[in-house]
Amino acid sequence: MEDRRRALLAIILVGAAPTLSTLLSYSAGDGAISQAIFVLTKLWLLCVPIIWFLKIDGGAMSWSKPEQGGYAMSIGLGLAMSVAMLLAWFLLGDAIDATLLSDALEPVGLLNPTVYLLATVYWILFNSLLEEYVFRWFLVIKSETLVGPGNPAIILSALIFVVHHTVALAVFGFPWWANVISSIAIFIGGAVFSWLYVRYRSVWIPYIAHAICDVAVFGVGATILF
């Protein structure tokens, strides 16, 4: 019971941080405060899981080396999900108001093609890896303690993963129906990434699939904005 209480606390402290950051940044508006919230949240997500794992769980440092393979599976699933996203955009993209998205991204400079490209590189190479570290490694193992291994942990971690994306899409002005469809797709993607971690026990395997999907996402974003 004590282990489950600790796992729940860890999930709250880490899993709620991205959603809280999105809401606080939106409330703070543009400028230094919003940027400070963004940076502090990233530091929180980077530091809290490893400190918890080392100090409370008594774990040891590891680079999560993929010792069970999984590269082909990850690449295949990443490409399949990317194709599904591109098909969805082809069918439904005209219904999304590009002006709303532009208005949401303009204050942070993402309407500048160079800034957009740099943000794309950052998100694919670093932010996606941070999300795998947080949502697949830390929150999956805590979900396993709280609700049990296998599907229960996969579903819980995917639900946590989708929440802040749903909030962010609402902030960016996505219509409710597009947000619902996107959130379902993100939940499925999160579940796939969690399954890859559970199956291969390395954050690098789901990261490959995640990075491939982000290439598609930012490609669609560039099509909308430019």
Residue 45 in contact with residue 190, Cβ under 8 Å?
no
The confidence score (pLDDT) of residue 15 equals: 94
- Count structural domains, the chain: 1
Asked, for residue 28, whether it belongs to a domain, the answer is no
- Of 34, 199, 11, nearest in space to 3 by CA: 11
C-alpha to C-alpha distance for 32 and 216, rounded to whole angstroms: 30
- Check if the beta carbon of residue 191 is closer than 8 Å to that of residue 158: yes
In this structure, is residue 34 part of a structural domain?
Answer: no
Q: Taking CA 212 as the corner, what is the angle to CA 132 and CA 84, rounded to the nearest 5 degrees?
A: 110
Q: Is the pLDDT of residue 97 over 70?
A: no
pLDDT band at 208 (very low <50, low <70, confident <90, very high): very high
84 vs 1, which has greater pLDDT?
84
> Is there a domain that residue 42 lies in?
no
Residue 171 lies in a domain: yes
Would residue 212 count as lying in a domain? yes
Residue pLDDT, tens place only, 168-192: 888 777 778 878 888 999 999 999 9
Parent domain of 76 = 70-225
> Each residue of 26-44: pLDDT tens digit?
777 666 788 888 889 999 9
The mean pLDDT value for 40-49 works out to: 95
* pTM summary value: 0.90
Residue 19 falls inside a structural domain: no
With respect to residue 135, please indicate whether it lies within any of the assigned structural domains. Answer: yes
Whole-number Å distance between alpha carbons of 91 and 77? 21
